[in-house]
């Protein structure tokens, strides 16, 4: 798709705007109030009665409930087993930081293993979930500090700080210092915001090894994974007298993880180290004409480098259920993304109700190049001569590909009457890798069934396409696996190079069809309820699987036949006594199933040792039942109590064996029910410096206060006579831990 074509479409949008400008009606106020709320800010929660409520439109009322009702925190806990109360339900994000930036080659997060609690961020969910401008379902934006052009401010915080206690204090276990300075260079016109955040976490892991002598000889007694990252952001904001708004942002970020894949079965020397460096430049301009037309332009430039580095050159061995040696793969990948966007919003006009029309288009270039160097993989039983298979790699280690994407969308927010609003949208995407026309219609609605705005029914349905991974475009020319099978230590086959094949020359991009239906109810002035049902079906997922049984396979085949489904029922209650006191409770009933050989989870940043036949079943993160209660209680004397109780079904665990005799079954059982009570206590102090009044908050938070046994690993063995898995024990629980907290704002 050429730049010339993109420019012509942009010019057409401008002409459409000029044609509509003579018939302008009063511009809608609803857009300014429906930009998506931060669940951590209660806002003006009690302004619901009187004339203001009676005149509120359906869209405005729905946005108000979105601001008040909280986002339910993620079902997944961090790698340290701790719960983050920040809303991390979605896996897609628009803002650059080391914890959520995507690899432009795959359009997923490079490190998708659970991150520690220090890496969590607050998020916003847009009011219009089915807006055509959104590329992803449940597209989220981490909350960030707003630039003030009127007054300067300073903030420093370290909400997660603790020491390592192993026969005494042995250094810092976790730290998360953050600093932010807002500087209005020209009052009301020009402002500068600088922020910096550093994260440190040492995650300890229990080992299945029980012999103290073996632990000492292997150096496996001190098993922890270090996580370090930083984010540096500099943002400029400028407003001119002619209704022009300019902004620019420079972001630099990094993420280093030692022993990144450490678990109970993997010694530290067998895990790789992970490094990521990146940066972003972002420029935007918005112009509001006297007629009410708003034209916005943006240019974004991103670069990312990541490394997966083994800790030695020994082969990686899977012996029974334990790993030995060194990680088998070395990855060095650089990727970039340049995106230009134009959008046009017309003033509200009257025609069979009120319409708020908007249009947009975008042109993107993605590119990557990488080096993949593989070492030897050995699968064997407990005896040295009981080798099941040996895998090596051949072919070129180099991969490189670039892609062009074009996007266009149109949307109409149509208020038929005050108590009903529809959002009708159509999105079009095209890329040079799949060369498929991707049409994505969307429909959202908000209804006020009664005269007052205490009840809102909202929902919608839409199609959402994923980006095609660039690594899928280079799969057929990438390196090949060479595998040889053995029987009782004797060669069963000759070494065979597996071909990399695709089921068709142009694979379809995966897409999601999602819908939800939600009822928001204000029961009393302080009590709010939400009941919601949601369904997501994903089709055309890229899968990778061998073309036959293990001893007969000749190729690995990439296809687009995968499917997945997620269903959820949620009931949430929120009691908002005042700005500082809120109590929330939520129950979620869900089901998550899908194909288990997805390309991006099999051949990705951390490639799997073996690639088996395709399987369909419950997802590893499937959680049928979950109850969560959390909140903040303000007490006299500046004290604040913040409790959280999490009770949910345990995740699925499976059995992995190196001797090739265990059936290829993905599901063997579930972990015990997870129960964790977290409690935080804080005290606010008034401080005064530089002639300004500020607030100092000191506190401590206890995680898993009752020290409930919440294991993260399951040790299994096999019954050789019956050829089945046998459970032995659960281990690696995240016990009671504490984090100190300090926040200073003025």
3-state secondary structure 251-307: EEEEEEECCCCCECCECHHHCCEEEEEEEEEEEEEEEECCCCCEEEEEEEEEEEEEE
- Outline where DSSP puts E strands in 503-638: 511-522, 527-546, 555-576, 582-595, 616-618, 625-635
Q: How many other β-carbons are positioned within 10 Å of the β-carbon of residue 341?
A: 18
Higher pLDDT, 3 or 137: 137
For 541-599, write each residue's pLDDT tens digit. 999 999 888 778 899 999 999 999 999 999 999 999 888 899 999 999 999 999 988 99
For 312-357, write each residue's pLDDT tens digit. 999 999 887 788 999 999 999 999 999 999 999 999 998 889 999 9
pLDDT of residue 659: 45
pLDDT of residue 436: 92
pLDDT of residue 166: 64
For 413-462, write each residue's pLDDT tens digit. 999 898 999 999 999 999 999 999 999 999 999 999 998 889 999 999 99
State which H helix or E strand residue 223 sits in: none
pLDDT of residue 87: 47
What confidence category does residue 27 fall into, taking pLDDT thresholds of 50, 70 and 90?
Answer: very low
Higher pLDDT, 245 or 10: 245
Q: Which residues contact 715 (CB under 8 A, 6 or more apart)?
A: 208, 264, 265, 321, 728, 729, 730, 731
Instruction: Please choose, from the candidates 352, 356, 345, 458, the residue with its C-alpha nearest in 3D space to the C-alpha of residue 412.
Output: 356
Higher pLDDT, 143 or 11: 143
What confidence category does residue 721 fall into, taking pLDDT thresholds of 50, 70 and 90?
Answer: low
* Residue 244 token pair: 């022009």
pLDDT of residue 288: 92
* Residue 434 token pair: 């799949």
Instruction: Please choose, from the candidates 58, 54, 658, the residue with its C-alpha nearest in 3D space to the C-alpha of residue 387.
Output: 658
Judged by average pLDDT, the poorest of 54-63, 354-363, 514-523 is: 54-63
pLDDT of residue 90: 40
* Residue 61 token pair: 């009322």
Q: For residue 310, with 0-12 CB atoms within 10 Å meaning exposed, 13-18 middle and 19 or more buried, which class applies?
A: buried
Instruction: Please choose, from the candidates 599, 520, 521, the residue with its C-alpha nearest in 3D space to the C-alpha of residue 562.
Output: 599
pLDDT of residue 167: 61
* % of the chain residues with pLDDT over 70: 84
Q: How many other β-carbons are positioned within 10 Å of the β-carbon of residue 546?
A: 21
634: pLDDT strictly greater than 50:
yes
What confidence category does residue 725 fall into, taking pLDDT thresholds of 50, 70 and 90?
Answer: low
3-state secondary structure of 523: coil
Q: Which residues contact 217 (CB under 8 A, 6 or more apart)?
A: none
656: pLDDT strictly greater than 60:
no
Beta-strand relationship, 387-394 and 398-417: unpaired
In the chain, what are the helix, strand and coil shares in percent, each to the nearest 5? 10, 55, 35
pLDDT of residue 169: 65
What do you get for the CA distance between the two ends of the chain, in Å?
50
* Residue 374 token pair: 């593989």
Homologous superfamily in CATH for domain 3-745: TonB-dependent receptor, beta-barrel domain (2.40.170.20)
Are the CB atoms for 192 and 183 separated by under 8 Å? yes
pLDDT of residue 241: 73
* Residue 721 token pair: 């006579």
91: pLDDT strictly greater than 70:
no
pTM: 0.87
628: pLDDT strictly greater than 90:
yes
Judged by average pLDDT, the poorest of 23-27, 286-290, 573-577, 602-606 is: 23-27
Q: For residue 685, with 0-12 CB atoms within 10 Å meaning exposed, 13-18 middle and 19 or more buried, which class applies?
A: exposed
Q: What is the mean pLDDT of residues 670-688?
A: 93
Instruction: Please choose, from the candidates 494, 503, 704, the residue with its C-alpha nearest in 3D space to the C-alpha of residue 614.
Output: 503
Q: Which residues contact 26 (CB under 8 A, 6 or more apart)?
A: 347, 348
Are the CB atoms for 279 and 302 separated by under 8 Å? yes
Query: Can you say whether the dihedral through the CA atoms of 234, 239, 240, 245 is positive or negative?
Result: positive
d(CA 89, CA 91): 7
Rounded to the nearest integer, the mean pLDDT of the chain is 83
pLDDT of residue 718: 66
665: pLDDT strictly greater than 60:
no
Are the CB atoms for 606 and 272 separated by under 8 Å? yes
Are the CB atoms for 311 and 327 separated by under 8 Å? yes
* Residue 289 token pair: 């004409």
pLDDT of residue 51: 39
For 29-51, write each residue's pLDDT tens digit. 333 333 333 333 333 333 334 33
Q: Which residues contact 44 (CB under 8 A, 6 or more apart)?
A: none
254: pLDDT strictly greater than 60:
yes
For 291-300, write each residue's pLDDT tens digit. 899 999 999 9
| φ, ψ dihedrals at 3, nearest 5° | -65, -35
Most confident by average pLDDT, 46-50, 376-380, 716-720: 376-380
Q: How many other β-carbons are positioned within 10 Å of the β-carbon of residue 531?
A: 14
For 684-711, write each residue's pLDDT tens digit. 999 987 778 889 999 999 999 999 999 9
What confidence category does residue 722 fall into, taking pLDDT thresholds of 50, 70 and 90?
Answer: low
Helices (H) and strands (E) in the chain, counts: 7, 40
* Residue 49 token pair: 């009665």
Most confident by average pLDDT, 2-11, 259-268, 693-702: 693-702
12: pLDDT strictly greater than 90:
no
Beta-strand relationship, 224-239 and 244-257: antiparallel
Are the CB atoms for 103 and 333 separated by under 8 Å? yes
d(CA 164, CA 448): 54
DSSP at 42: -
pLDDT of residue 583: 95
Largest CA distance in the chain: 85
Instruction: Please choose, from the candidates 169, 155, 201, 219, the residue with its C-alpha nearest in 3D space to the C-alpha of residue 694.
Output: 155
Encode burial over 93-107: b for 16+ CB neighbours within 10 A, e otherwise: bebbbbbbbbbbbbb
Phi-psi domain of 365 (left: phi exceeds 0; alpha: psi -120 through 50; beta: other): beta
What confidence category does residue 10 fall into, taking pLDDT thresholds of 50, 70 and 90?
Answer: very low
* % of the chain residues with pLDDT over 90: 53
Bridge-partner residues for 448, per DSSP?
none
394: pLDDT strictly greater than 60:
yes
pLDDT of residue 98: 75
Most confident by average pLDDT, 109-113, 275-279, 386-390, 721-725: 275-279
Q: How many other β-carbons are positioned within 10 Å of the β-carbon of residue 359?
A: 22
Most confident by average pLDDT, 177-186, 197-206, 218-227, 435-444: 435-444
d(CA 165, CA 283): 46
Are the CB atoms for 464 and 512 separated by under 8 Å? yes
d(CA 68, CA 89): 17
pLDDT of residue 14: 38
3-state secondary structure of 477: helix
Most confident by average pLDDT, 116-120, 182-186, 338-342, 602-606: 338-342
For 271-312, write each residue's pLDDT tens digit. 999 999 999 999 999 999 988 999 999 999 999 999 999 999
101: pLDDT strictly greater than 50:
yes
């Amino acid at each position: 798709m050429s730049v010339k074509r993109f420019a012509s479409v942009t010019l057409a949008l401008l002409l459409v705007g000029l044609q509509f400008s003579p018939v302008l009606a009063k511009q809608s106020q609803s857009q300014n109030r429906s930009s998506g709320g931060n669940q951590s800010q209660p806002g003006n929660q009690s302004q619901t009665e009187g004339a203001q409520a009676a005149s509120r439109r359906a869209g405005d009322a729905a946005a108000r409930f979105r601001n008040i009702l909280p986002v339910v925190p993620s079902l997944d806990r961090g790698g340290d087993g701790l719960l983050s109360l920040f809303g991390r339900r979605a896996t897609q994000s628009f803002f650059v930081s080391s914890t959520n930036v995507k690899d432009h080659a795959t359009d997923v997060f490079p490190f998708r293993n659970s991150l520690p609690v220090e890496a969590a961020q607050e998020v916003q969910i847009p009011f219009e979930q089915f807006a055509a401008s959104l590329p992803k379902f449940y597209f989220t934006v981490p909350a960030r500090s707003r630039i003030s052009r009127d007054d300067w401010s300073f903030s420093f915080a370290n909400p997660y700080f603790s020491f390592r206690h192993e026969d005494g204090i042995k250094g810092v276990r976790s730290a998360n210092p953050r600093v932010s300075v807002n500087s209005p260079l020209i009052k009301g016109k020009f402002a500068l915001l600088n922020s910096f955040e550093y994260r440190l976490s040492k995650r300890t892991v229990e080992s299945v090894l029980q012999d103290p002598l073996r632990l000492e000889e292997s150096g496996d007694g001190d098993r922890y994974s270090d996580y370090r990252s930083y984010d540096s952001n500099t943002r400029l904001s400028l407003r001119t007298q002619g209704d022009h708004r300019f902004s620019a942002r420079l972001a630099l970020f990094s993420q280093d993880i030692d022993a990144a894949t450490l678990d109970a079965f993997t010694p530290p020397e067998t895990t790789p180290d992970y490094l990521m460096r990146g940066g972003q430049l972002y420029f935007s301009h918005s112009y509001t004409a006297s007629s009410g037309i708003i034209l916005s332009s943006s240019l974004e430039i991103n670069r990312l480098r990541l490394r997966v580095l083994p800790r030695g050159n020994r082969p990686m061995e899977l012996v029974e259920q334990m790993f030995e040696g060194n990680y088998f793969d070395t990855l060095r990948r650089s990727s970039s993304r340049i995106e230009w966007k134009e959008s046009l919003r017309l003033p509200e006009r009257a025609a069979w109700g009120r319409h708020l029309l908007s249009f947009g288009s975008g042109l993107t270039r993605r590119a990557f190049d990488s080096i993949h160097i593989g070492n030897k993989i050995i699968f064997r039983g407990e005896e040295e001569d009981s080798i099941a298979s040996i895998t090596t790699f051949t072919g070129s280690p180099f991969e490189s590909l670039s892609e062009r994407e074009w996007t266009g969308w149109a949307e109409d927010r149509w208020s038929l009457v005050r108590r009903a609003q529809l959002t009708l949208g159509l999105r079009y995407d095209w890329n040079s890798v799949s060369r498929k026309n991707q049409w994505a219609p969307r429909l959202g609605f908000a209804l006020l069934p009664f005269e007052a705005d205490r009840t809102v029914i909202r929902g919608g349905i839409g199609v959402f396409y994923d980006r095609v991974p660039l690594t899928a475009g280079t799969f057929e020319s990438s390196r090949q696996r060479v595998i040889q099978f053995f029987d009782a230590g004797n060669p069963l086959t000759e070494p065979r190079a597996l071909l990399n094949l695709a089921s068709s020359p142009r694979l379809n991009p995966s897409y999601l069809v999602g819908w939800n239906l939600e009822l928001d109810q204000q029961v009393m002035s302080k009590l709010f309820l939400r009941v919601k049902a949601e369904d997501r079906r994903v089709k055309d997922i890229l899968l990778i699987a061998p073309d036959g049984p293990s001893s007969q396979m000749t190729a690995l085949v990439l296809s687009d036949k995968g499917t997945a489904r997620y269903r959820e029922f949620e009931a949430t209650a929120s009691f908002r006594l005042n700005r500082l006191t809120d109590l929330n409770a939520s129950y979620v009933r869900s089901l998550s199933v899908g194909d288990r050989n997805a390309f991006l989870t099999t051949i990705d940043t951390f490639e799997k040792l073996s690639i088996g036949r395709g399987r369909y079943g419950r997802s590893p993160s499937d959680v049928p039942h979950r109850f969560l209660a959390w909140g903040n209680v303000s007490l006299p004397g500046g004290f604040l109590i913040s409790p959280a109780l999490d009770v949910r079904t345990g995740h699925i665990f499976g059995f992995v064996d190196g001797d090739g005799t265990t059936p290829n079954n993905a599901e063997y059982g579930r972990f015990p029910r997870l129960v964790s009570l977290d409690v935080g206590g804080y005290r606010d102090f008034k401080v005064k410096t530089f002639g300004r009044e500020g607030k100092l908050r000191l506190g401590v938070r206890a995680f898993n206060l009752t020290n409930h046994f919440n294991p993260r690993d399951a040790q299994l063995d096999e019954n050789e006579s019956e050829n089945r898995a046998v459970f032995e024990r659960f281990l690696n629980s995240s016990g009671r831990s504490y984090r100190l907290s300090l926040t200073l704002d003025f």
